[in-house]
Amino acid sequence: MEETNVSDAEALWDDVVATLEADDLPAATAAMLRSCEAVALDDENLHIRTNSRFVQRTLARLATQLDAVATEVAFQPLAVKVEVIRAERRKPQATRTMPSTVSIASAPHITRAPEPSSTSSRSPASAQRQRETNPLIEDISSLGSNLTFERFVAGPQNQFALDAAKQVANGSRNYNPLFIYGKSGLGKTHLLRAIQNYIAQNDPDRLCAYRVATDFIDDYSRAMKNARAGAAETLAANYHAIDVLIIDDIQLMSTAAGTIGFFYDTFNYLVNHGKQIVLAADRTPSELGMGQSRFDERVTSRLDSGMTVSIQVPDYELKLHLIDAFYERMRSDAREQHVPGVDAHISEDLRRLMAERAGTNIRVIEGFVQSCLMLAFQREAVGGTLTEEDVISVAEQKWPSGQRRVTVEQIQEAVETSYGIDHTQLVGGRRNKELMEPRHVAIWLTRELTDNTLADIGKHFGGRTHATVKHSIAVIEEGMRKDRILQDRVGRIRDQILE
């Protein structure tokens, strides 16, 4: 085969990826392959290019499989060669004037960062100066954070989010913005901090800032109080100097109209200047705009313009994996750091029992493991061992087994809050799409969480018939099989009611 042009290389690479996808290649890995660019094809090699070291390492582990598939689709021996080309970052343009309706200012103690510049031309000394003068950038070396990629316990429920976070940390521009959503306690903050830690350790010339939404609101509020002190430009410049901006719990901004305006302008500036944005919330971008929220469609469409991934609640297998990982890590840390009262033994059978009894909040699961280890240490100190009764007792303290009685009114209130509608709209007769989904969800949850008959459920929803209630239940069951976003939302509302 003589050397061919780029279009032939691209066609062959598309065939390779499509063949792998047909063989049930994981979605996250397929996304990595699709992010690569085919650049040349010769007698022996298909040359592809990526700007992510993480993608290169992943493909290196798949080299044998890639070569075999490339040989299959090319009908001759062929190897896939991967090279990393670091993408040039666009130099920033002149800062545009902020609208007068979104006046930005900062507190007097906030210093102005140097003018933003692309990291491709930023020297290490310049990066260090900006890091020291920009109050948004933490000195995380003193935090001793354990929130790293290596300490993140992965499973099917969070693997795609983990892979996307690693690509962003490695400088890939394929996921911008990266928006991670899921209920509290599933690991969103861990991933965001892991990105920050990775960049600080491996690419310190990139300026990375982590802010919780409440911090962002405070920045804006303090700035507004000092609008005449020239702080508007200072705060804007500090944010514009950031290469990777991470904002956690962005749903907490939903009622802060002025802050949202500042965020929108900051978002646009950073994206337009080749900077990376990572966001996390407890709901999807579209859900952020529901109800009384000040997130309008202009903002939510921008939030959803990159890669949006969810983190699901852990199933039994992931909970067991988490418990095993926390157990080994805590014992290891206790030995290395000479922490008393934790380095004890818990059998595999008891860890399986712990997984059966554990809830879904990963932070609580970690505390559960620590409590069991401490109790096991106490038992061993007097010549005993941890028992099943001990594990069950600790689990019941973390997750009380006596499930409280759920009422239809509680379910209706939770659904109304989630969808931003009032009670009259939920139980009324209007049949527009915006009201049908929450009504179906509320009826389905009532069937799941209460002992009401279908006829009784109908009475609580405006006197609807037995057949109408059955239809609502069928709509949600079918919808959750096909729509992961709907499944996530129903699950979050259900957990909120039960917890």
Angstrom distance (rounded) from CA 357 to CA 311: 21
Structure tokens at 297: 């469609």
Give the residue from 219, 193, 223 showing the smallest Cα distance to 208: 193
pLDDT tens figures, 453-465:
888 899 999 999 8
CA distances from 330 to 152, 346, 351, 366, 367 (A): 14, 12, 14, 10, 11
* Highest mean pLDDT out of 29-33, 259-263, 288-292: 259-263
Structure tokens at 284: 């999807």
pLDDT tens figures, 359-391:
888 989 999 999 999 999 999 999 999 999 999
Segment 50-57 shows an average pLDDT of 76
Segment 328-344 shows an average pLDDT of 85
Segment 95-116 shows an average pLDDT of 36
> What is this structure's pTM?
0.65
CB neighbours (10 Å) of residue 358? 22
Angstrom distance (rounded) from CA 133 to CA 387: 55
Segment 436-457 shows an average pLDDT of 90
Structure tokens at 287: 């859900």
Angstrom distance (rounded) from CA 55 to CA 72: 23
Peptide bond into 177 cis (omega under 30): yes
Angstrom distance (rounded) from CA 189 to CA 428: 39
pLDDT higher than threshold 90 for residue 351: yes
Assign 23 a pLDDT band (cuts: 50, 70, 90).
confident
Angstrom distance (rounded) from CA 66 to CA 7: 19
More confident position, 179 or 101: 179
8-22, 116-130, 171-185: which has the minimum mean pLDDT? 116-130
Proportion of the chain in helix, strand, coil states, percent, rounded to 5: 55, 10, 35
Assign 121 a pLDDT band (cuts: 50, 70, 90).
low
Gap between the terminal Cα atoms of the chain: 64
Give the pLDDT of residue 148.
Answer: 92
pLDDT higher than threshold 50 for residue 347: yes
Mean pLDDT score of the chain, rounded to an integer? 83
CB neighbours (10 Å) of residue 149? 17
pLDDT tens figures, 145-175:
788 999 999 888 899 999 999 999 999 888 9
Segment 221-232 shows an average pLDDT of 77
Segment 458-473 shows an average pLDDT of 90
